[in-house]
A and B are shown apart, each in its own frame.
Chain A
């Protein structure tokens, strides 16, 4: 369960969801670009961020339509070759959004679909993260979603830590916050007299 302060969870909830208002709402004309007054009419089709769409759905104020990234086109592409699909451009939080949207829509095939997409992409991410050279950014990285990128980085850094442990070497290092450049001009510390 993500925490209240979880940045990724908050950013995930910003993903736009297409909804249809089942009620009218006053004083929120900003939500509907086509509104002539400062209110949203019943039946208006609007894109809302997930956090708002979710809460309004629970109050039966809107109906949610399935986001395009879980539509037929993406499904066909995933079935053809899961690893080659650029999921980030479709939705950077594909899996998290998938998990959260399943209880809200009637289409129950989204769950198995998201699972299938993950299992077929996972193997490739893991093997590439262990073998890819550390210094370069692999070509396929921009295709990964945020969750997959985190997996990739985790696997890569654990591999790097393992190699470092095996070779040995200095345990003491400069604090990473101070920047990678060696020759930064630090303000000279007041030298002890």
Chain B
């Protein structure tokens, strides 16, 4: 059936949880693009057939016309599916910059295709230049903290890190008292957790 493969591509995307990403399915994507080309060729040949019979292309409603209509509709349907696939992935990729930070872990990077990686980099750069213009970090927690400092437990060996004017050794299971803004990025990356009594 026409457009079946394109809708399967979207089903795959729709079945994963909101905010998550499946690996870019370039096989199906290329096949749908090929399908589009095939529809285009058949559309052209049907139109040519009508023209060869010296019929008016605007008013003719013969069998060739409806064949051409079906190919045209299938073509635009496939296009809509492909556009929606890219658009919805791009939305998720944008959200990564806010949730994870400017550097993506390998496991996520593997799911992107080349143009999506470029998109992420450019989006990230745009946000960074805007934030440096404002001189304000927009990615931190929106609710004003009651205390500018926070107690955290380190969940993974991070190593020696330079925070502000001093460096600190973040080893696994150690407890620290850090500035909230410094800790936030480690927490969102899953390397630390807030230590609550």
Contact = CB atoms under 8 A, between A and B. Distances in A.
Interface of A: 4-8, 10-11, 14, 23-28, 30-31, 39, 49, 51-52, 55-56, 59, 61, 169-179, 182, 184, 186-189, 191-193
B20 A177 contact: yes
B67 interface: yes
A191 B158 contact: yes
Contact of B84 (A4, A174, A184): A4
B164 interface: no
B1 A172 contact: no
Interface of B: 1-4, 7, 10-11, 13-14, 19-21, 42, 45-46, 49, 61, 63-64, 66-71, 73-74, 77, 80-81, 83-84, 87-88, 96, 99-100, 105-108, 141, 143, 150, 155-162, 167, 183-184, 187-191, 193-194, 196
Contacts of A51: 3, 73, 77
Contacts, number: 145
Nearest to A14: B7
Contacts of A26: 46, 49, 63-64, 66-67
A182 B155 contact: yes
At the interface, is chain B mostly helix, strand, loop or mixed?
A: helix
A28 B70 contact: yes
Nearest to A51: B77
Nearest to A170: B194
A52 B73 contact: yes
B189 A174 contact: yes
B105 A172 contact: no
A171 B180 CA distance: 11
A179 to B, nearest CB: 8
A27 B14 contact: no
A23 B63 CA distance: 7
